[in-house]
Amino acid sequence: MKASWIKRICAMVALVATAGTAAADWQLDPSQSALYFASVKSDTIGEIHAFKTISGTMTKDGQVELLIDLASVETSIPIRNSRMKDMLFEVAKFPQARVSAKVDYPRFNQLGAGESLTQALSIDLELHDRRQTLQTEVQAVKLAGDRILVTAVRPILLNTGDFGLTEGVEKLRAIVQLPSISPMVPITINLVFARHTAP
């Protein structure tokens, strides 16, 4: 009887240990992935920014999850990085943004190297303690080495007011004495997922 219980416990431990890796069939390759966003100030001056630290997974049921480290924002100007972290994103209170979406996994999984597909996508974005659903269309291209490149066919438009960021945008505008900063922010993604293989 004792041996039987030991076997059951070992089986349960093994199941728990493998559950996470089994669910996360694909892992985001951060070294090959990028998330960019643009800002427009004074109506005519556009600048491109990025987040340096993102992570994510895609499961066999098509659930995609991304985590964005807001403190990793990169604007190419150190003082502006600090201001965005403190005044806009308030990273001390809201350190991450979370993105979730559901893709047609069977179609993604059946792609051969060099083949592609497009899919309309609803994206749930949690940012600054607010949650909104954004619409986009993505293209997935199967790469060599069991990897998939996912890009937005067109920029994803985010309204800063929808995420409680209006006050932060105004603080940024005032501190550099700009006439305006657009509340509309275009976002582009280039995400590479690699198939996860258990060790």
pLDDT at residue 198, rounded to an integer: 64
- CA separation, residue 10 to residues 1, 5, 13, 93 (Å): 14, 9, 5, 41
Q: What is the DSSP string of 121-170?
A: EEEEEEETTEEEEEEEEEEEEEETTTEEEEEESSPEEEEGGGGT-HHHHH
Q: Which pLDDT band holds residue 197 (cuts at 50, 70, 90)?
A: confident
Query: Whole-prediction pTM value?
Result: 0.85
Query: Can you give the residue range of the structural domain that contains 183?
Result: 24-195
Contact 39, 169 (CB under 8 A): no
Contact 28, 56 (CB under 8 A): yes
77-87: average pLDDT: 98
Q: Minimal CA–CA distance to 56: which of 89, 32, 88?
A: 32
d(CA 72, CA 51): 5
Structural domain contains residue 122: yes
Q: Which pLDDT band holds residue 23 (cuts at 50, 70, 90)?
A: low
Residue 54 CB contacts under 8 Å (≥ 6 apart), including other chains: 28, 30, 33, 35, 66, 67, 68, 69, 72
Q: The domain spanning residue 126 has which CATH number?
A: 2.40.128.110
Structural domain contains residue 185: yes
- CA separation, residue 188 to residues 18, 38, 153 (Å): 34, 9, 9
Structural domain contains residue 105: yes
1-23: average pLDDT: 45
Structural domain contains residue 14: no
Structural domain contains residue 171: yes
Residue 33, pLDDT > 90, answer yes
d(CA 193, CA 197): 12
Number of domains in the chain: 1
Structural domain contains residue 6: no
79-84: average pLDDT: 98
Q: Minimal CA–CA distance to 150: which of 50, 26, 61?
A: 26
pLDDT at residue 39, rounded to an integer: 97
Structural domain contains residue 148: yes
132-144: average pLDDT: 96
Structural domain contains residue 146: yes
Residue 22, pLDDT > 70, answer no
pLDDT at residue 196, rounded to an integer: 83
Residue 6, pLDDT > 60, answer no
